[in-house]
Amino acid sequence: PRLGEVVLSAEGLAKHFGGVTAVDGVSLNIRAGEVLAVIGPNGAGKSTLVNLLSGNLVPNAGSVHIDGVDTTAMKAHQVAAHKLSRTFQTPCLFEGMDVAGTVAVGAHLRGSVGMLRSSVPTFGSLKEEETLATEAATALNRLGLSRLADRDAKSLSLGQQKQVEIARALVASPRVLLLDEPCAGLNKAEKASLMRLLRSLGREGMAVLVIEHDMEFVMAAADRVHVLNFGSTLRVGTPEEVQTDQDVIDAYLGV
């Protein structure tokens, strides 16, 4: 991808749950090589927005395109095949699988094979299996998780599980990466290395969206910030612009 090229574009997304409007006409672009932060108060619609982009939820209105392909009505595994990977606010790992195996499953998202169908992986050949193991080891190393490769993924701390999910997402070689509160459960040093990882993924041309509350992290990691409030866009700007915007301070940063 050429740096700066729009990889994912969303137009006028809306999602209602019964009488609750969780997302109300949100448009955004994520460009190759940028880290876009999404911030806003609890309940602002951040997770719902990511679920709409990833195909985990179908919008009531609006559209999502990845590389110009309309993915709006696609299921999550179909969207994943268009090179979108994501992590969840609450980690979503398999029962009884070690960390290395969990991460290797991410490679199945590259193809058209669905997430659920691939939960018991049947690998084509020994060579493929070796390649997968090498790719999983590389991703684990990138997240600093190599020493945990043999551990049961579900036995890890929240912060570690969230990092395992990022490694699993990276193994799929995504062009778009969506992270829902990846700093939860991380200490200061782990946050700093995650921040460096996001910056380097950006330099490699990935389009990264990260939901995060930690403003120090957002200021250091993000190129642009999209502020949501009550399901709508309050402001989009550079970290500096957003941090000094009076409406943003009143709605979110001041509290």
- Which of 135, 214 has the CB closer to ligand ADP? 214
Compute the least distance from the CB of residue 74 to ligand ADP, in Å: 19
Is 48 a binder of Mg ion (CB under 5 A)? no
> Segment near Mg ion (CB under 5 A), from 44-52, 73-81, 107-115, 238-246?
44-52
Compute the least distance from the CB of residue 59 to ligand ADP, in Å: 13
Phi, psi of 145 (to 5 degrees): -110, 10
- Which of 41, 205 has the CB closer to ligand ADP? 41
**Antiparallel, parallel or unpaired: β 6-17 and 176-180:** unpaired
**Antiparallel, parallel or unpaired: β 6-17 and 61-66:** antiparallel
Which letter does DSSP use for residue 172 in this model?
T
Which of residues 14, 26, 47, 221 is near Mg ion by CB under 5 A?
47
> Segment near ligand ADP (CB under 6 A), from 16-24, 124-132, 139-147, 239-247?
16-24
Report residue 45 as tokens: 């619609």
Residues in 129-188 at the binding interface with Mg ion, rule: CB under 5 A: none
- Which of 43, 237 has the CB closer to ligand ADP? 43
Residues in 36-55 at the binding interface with ligand ADP, rule: CB under 6 A: 40, 42-48
Task: Tell me the C-alpha distance between 151 and 174, whole Å.
Answer: 25
Q: Are 182 and 166 in contact (CB under 8 A)?
A: yes
- Which of 46, 142 has the CB closer to Mg ion? 46
Report residue 220 as tokens: 């250091």
**Antiparallel, parallel or unpaired: β 61-66 and 207-211:** unpaired
Task: Tell me the C-alpha distance between 10 and 30, whole Å.
Answer: 9
In the complex, which residues of this chain contact Mg ion (CB under 5 A)?
Answer: 46-47, 89
